[in-house]
Each structure stands twice: as C-alpha cells, then as structure tokens.
Amino acid sequence: MAILPYKTAASAPFDCHIILGAVQNNISIVYSRLSFLPRKKREELNLFDEDASLPFINLHKFNSSKISAFFCSEQTFTGFEIPHSKIEAGLKPLESYLNLIEYSDYFSKDYFDSEKDFKNTKNFILHENQSNGFTEWKNRRKQILSDDKAISDVTLKYIQKKLTYSKDFPDRYSVSATALKTYYQCSLKWLFNRILNIDNVQIETSLMAEELSGTVYHTILDMFFSQLKEKNEILPKPVITENGLALPSSYIKLLQNCLDKIFAAFPLLESDDKEKNRKNQMSSLTMRFLIAAKSQFLFNLEKFLTHFFSVFSGCRIKNTEAWYQSIRDKYFLNGKSDCILEDKNGNYIIIDFKLGSPPKRKDCIIDDENNLCDFQLPMYITLAEENEKIEIHTALFFSIIKLIPEVIFGTVHDEIKNINYPKKEEDRIIRSSEMYNMVFSEFEDRAKQFADEIISGKFSVFEKDTQECFKCRYNRICRRVYTIKGEKNISLGKS
C-alpha cells in the first residue's frame, strides 16, 4: 500500500485507488492558463479558469485495476461537508455507520460522537494526557526564569547516552558545529532534531532527500582528491579552450572514473558517520532518480573543479574528508573538514564545500547587531590546528553549483581572472587580527556554554520570535505558541 497526495496518485497505476476525504473542497482542482498573470490580465486575453476536477477523478478511475473507491463524511471536525458533485455518488454518506447493524462490528466506539456535547456535560473530564501535556508545556516555559532543569531526568540520561559515545573520550559530551548552530537557534529544536531525531516526513520530499544529493557530490570529490593526495600532485591550472576554461583531459578522465565507481555502488553510499562505520542506503526510486541525473552530476563537477583549480592551482592536497576530535574539560569538539590545502608558500587553507548557497557572511562574524551564528569554520580550524599541528591562514566555503568562494578568514587569489577574495578589503579577516580573535573567543565560550547546559539540563536558549515558532516544523509537538479562538501570535509562555 502506498499513501500519496491526491494529484500525485492520479496518474499512477495501482490495483485499487482509494480516495479518502473526497468532499467538494478537497478534490476540486482549478487550472489557470498563464497563472503568473493577474486574473484581470488573463480575462482580457480571454483566458478563463477551467475546472479540472473531473479529469482527475477519471484518472483515478482509469488507473485503478479494480473499481476505485471514494470515501467522505458529511460530518467533520470543522463542519458540514458534501461529496464532490463530479463523483455522482450513488450512496449518500452517513454521519456514522456505527449505528447500522450490518456495519457495527467493523467500527470502534465513536469518541467524537460521545464527546461532541461536552459543554452540557455535568462532570467535565479533562483527559490525563491533555492535563499532563499542558502542565509540562507550562512548566517548561517557566524554566527560562528559574534555576530548575528544563527537561526531565530521563531525557537528561538519554542525552548523555546519545552524546558520550566516544571510546577515546569516555564520559565526555560530543560538541559539533551543526549541534551548536541548531542549539543557539532554539534548544528545544536541537532536542527534537539532534537527540530525539524526530522527523516530519513528507511524501514528496522522502522520495529524494536533498541532503543525499549533496552527499553524493561530497563522496565523489573525496575520492577524486584522495587520488591526487596519494600522488602528491600539484593542482594544475585550467586549460584554455574555444569554449573557455576547462579541466585538463587527464583530470576529466579521473573524475569520470570516480563518478562511475560511486554510482556503481548504489544503493550503498559511504556515510558521513565514521564513528558508527555505517552505510547510507537509498530506495530504488531514489537510486533511479540519481542515475538519471548522472550526466548532470558530471557536468556540475567539471565546472566546479575548473573554477576550483583556477583559484587554487599550485596547491597540494593535505587532507580530504578528515575527521578530527579535540578534548576539553567535560566535552570534546568533533567535526570533519572537507578539504585542507597547502599552498606553494607552505600556508594551509581549509575549504568547506556547499552544494547550494554558502552561509551568510554576517552569520560567520561578530558585529554590533549579530553574534556568531555559524560555527563551522572556527570549529574546523580549531580541530585541524590541534590535530595536525599546523596554522590555518585561510578558511572559506565553496559552492559546488553556484561556483562561489565565500572567504571568511584570510584571502585567496584567482590568477586566471586576477581577482582577490574577499573583493572588499574591509571584509578581509587576517589571522590574529582583532575580529579573528573575537570570533574564536566567542566560539570557545559558546561551545562551553552549550556543554554546560546540556549536561545540567538548564537550557537557556529559546526562540523569542513567535513567527519563527509558527514556521518551525516542530511547533505541533513543542507547543510554545497556542492558537486560541482563531487568533494567532498568542504566546502563553514565560509567565
């Protein structure tokens, strides 16, 4: 059985199409030609909206091997509904089938029917789960102004079990850049996402996870750079062709071989989680999507490496996809640097690859209006310097698709285009400068604060913007904000 959205499933051949909630409002579909134009403009062009409800109903009927079934109820939690008129239903939907003798054995007790008149009930009953849920929510909001723990002892023990996994540093908590970023957005979001691993699954997105595509790119680049590292090769300059800059032919062949090996291993893919030494496995449908886009992967990587060599020609690969750990008092820092280069002057460069847009520059520095929000580069620099015993003078993000180097620390020079990054001199943060020291000082302070709070359970970071809470994918279980009588932006927290 597959559960799919109404329009998505219409053209899919199945043994039987069963449509739930087939009421007028749910399955009415309006098709608008040139929908990007205002309605008035479309009417001037004699383009009017068309009712596409019947074609979709027919698609469900024709793509069902057996007779398709449309179900609906006149009485819903939000009011009265009617079956869609195009279905031409032969049976009138009933409010309840429980009262019919021939169906009574197939249905459990109708709790909605028994509780719908609760206003007139003499002895009002508040269910235990409702009472506990509201009490826990209310108490949690009070923790912000108190010295009590924001979470239970059971949750605290689970956090300890989850984060004290390292055999090298027993009883010390793991601190990563991703965990820091999520925690300082909201500690509850960190708890739901990083500890409890609660995922709001959507059918459309689960077919092809975005992060999986990024992992494929990273895995190919890791194999490519690893082979260059083994040969201790100096990165060459791109070659000039009639169509512009391009990779040397030998590197195109190497890239093609790496891509072929990674794709040949599908549905298995090397995991980022070196600690657990696991493999990521994709669904057969996801694998087909990726294989269909194989030529696009090669095209994007060729363009990316051409720009990459343009900026970093003359460098050698020091390390690629390297995991590091560094011990602190009650915790340890851990993370993986995508690539470390050594330039011709013996200086070291850290690069973090991003599939799309790199983090905003303002999130990576400190100014009068913003604190440090993105901890990746300070984390990777700290780990590399402490483990490799080197000094990192330059650190940047590099977008694979957008071909953008976002240099945060130090500078790089594109010899082909004769461009310095960052382009603005005031944006250049040199090692040991005042801004550099401020960033790393705050990084260490925030890492220590994070460790202290997750060890004690005294969370201090909560989202203050109600609008952000409404948009958060965990708002239904967090319940920081309640909606009362149709009104919005009503917070009952922070008493």
What's the pLDDT tens digit per position in 23-71?
888 889 888 888 888 888 888 888 888 889 999 999 999 999 999 988 8
Higher pLDDT, 229 or 204: 229
Q: Which residues pair with 370 in a beta bridge?
A: none
d(CA 176, CA 122) in angstroms, rounded, equals 55
Q: Which helix (H) or strand (E) holds 326?
A: strand 316-327
Higher pLDDT, 11 or 139: 11
pLDDT of residue 324: 97
pLDDT of residue 445: 96
- In the chain, what is the straight-line distance between the N-terminal and C-terminal CA atoms, in Å? 47
Higher pLDDT, 182 or 277: 182
d(CA 412, CA 408) in angstroms, rounded, equals 10
Which of 147, 194, 197 lies closest to 173 in space, CA to CA? Answer: 194
Return the minimum-mean-pLDDT range out of 41-50, 107-116, 254-263, 390-399. Answer: 107-116
Give the list of residues 6+ apart from residue 7 with CB closer than 8 angstroms, or none.
29, 56
Q: Is the pLDDT of residue 451 over 80?
A: yes
pLDDT of residue 75: 66
- Where helices occur in 144-268 by DSSP H, the ranges are 153-163, 177-183, 187-190, 203-206, 210-230, 249-264
Structural domain spans, the chain? 6-120, 203-445
> How sure is the predictor about 268, in pLDDT bands with cuts at 50, 70 and 90?
confident
pLDDT of residue 198: 85
The three-class DSSP label of residue 70 is: strand
pLDDT of residue 327: 96
What's the number of CA atoms in the CB half-sphere (13 Å) around residue 239? 10
Q: What is the pLDDT of residues 224-266, one digit of tens each?
A: 999 999 999 999 999 989 888 999 999 999 999 999 999 999 8
Number of other CB atoms surrounding residue 199 within 10 Å: 10
The three-class DSSP label of residue 268 is: strand
Q: Which residues pair with 104 in a beta bridge?
A: none
Higher pLDDT, 234 or 142: 234
pLDDT of residue 273: 43
d(CA 109, CA 333) in angstroms, rounded, equals 54
d(CA 71, CA 222) in angstroms, rounded, equals 52
Entry pTM = 0.70
